Structure 1
Amino acid sequence: MNKHLLNRQIAKLEAQIEQVIATDEDLSKTADILRSVPEIGPVASAMLIAEMPELGQITGEKAAALTGLTPIAHDSGAMRGKRAIGGGRRLLRHEMFQSALVAIHHNAVLKDFADRLRTAGKPHKVVITAVA
């Protein structure tokens, strides 16, 4: 398929998604709140609305768990394993990672937070996960 054709189709779908959100009062209000957060744009807000309809009705901790951004312990008895993220809503987790990467470069508060984590010796993926 032609690259230009795909780009036109993507743009058309994005416009349709925007139209659906704009014509629904609740979705529009949610989108406005999400977009008030620096570095959350139309794609990230649409993804959050679509993939996490319970947003606004749950705690931040539950939202992080549903997204799969909370570390899961791999412990057994006295053995303490390495923590890792996983589970949750994979597509949403990937979108939040992308938003976090952008935010680290363009949001001064999150850049400072990421720099503090790096200075403390945290690995790159841990820093991105914390920002996400």
Structure 2
Amino acid sequence: AAMLAGLAPIANDSGARTGRRSIRAGRPAPRRALYMAALSARRYNPALTRFAKTLQAAGKPPKVILVAVMRKLVVLANCLLAQDRLWTPNPP
């Protein structure tokens, strides 16, 4: 699901060299919608706020943190759809 939205980290490796991971491709419309949702979720969702603060403490740049929150939202939505349930602050 993250790959369809263009949020999956893609390796830039060749031989013994390991490069930086980046996101690319995917569908731009869902990525744009997730960007706005991630801005709001980072500010108002306590779990995602903690996740973002953890990444910030690790020294990650703000854009990387936002993309990580976007990817987390996609994974969460995929999980909720697979289990056919609604989101709750404390999962069952």
Q: Same fold (TM over 0.5)?
A: yes
Paired positions, count: 70
Deviation at 1:108, TM superposition (A): 1.2
**CA RMSD, Structure 1 to Structure 2 (Å):** 0.9
For residue 66 of structure 1, give the secondary structure of its aligned residue in structure 2: coil
Structure 1 runs (4+) deviating above 2 angstroms are none
Q: Which residue does 1:105 correspond to in 2?
A: 43
Matched, 1:116 2:60: no
Q: Which gives a bigger RCO, structure 1 or 2 (Cα 8 Å, sep 6+)?
A: 2
The structure whose residues are more often helix, as a share, is 1
Runs of 5+ consecutive residues of structure 2 not aligned to the other structure:
71-92
From the two aligned structures, give the one with the greater strand fraction: 2
TM-score, normalization: structure 1? 0.51
- Percent identity at matched positions? 49
Specify every segment of 5 or more residues in structure 1 that has no aligned partner in the other structure, as ranges: 1-62
How many Å separate the matches in 2 of 1:111 and 1:101?
Answer: 10
Larger Rg: 1
Determine the structure 1 residue equivalent to 2:18. 80
**TM-score, normalised by the number of residues in structure 2:** 0.71
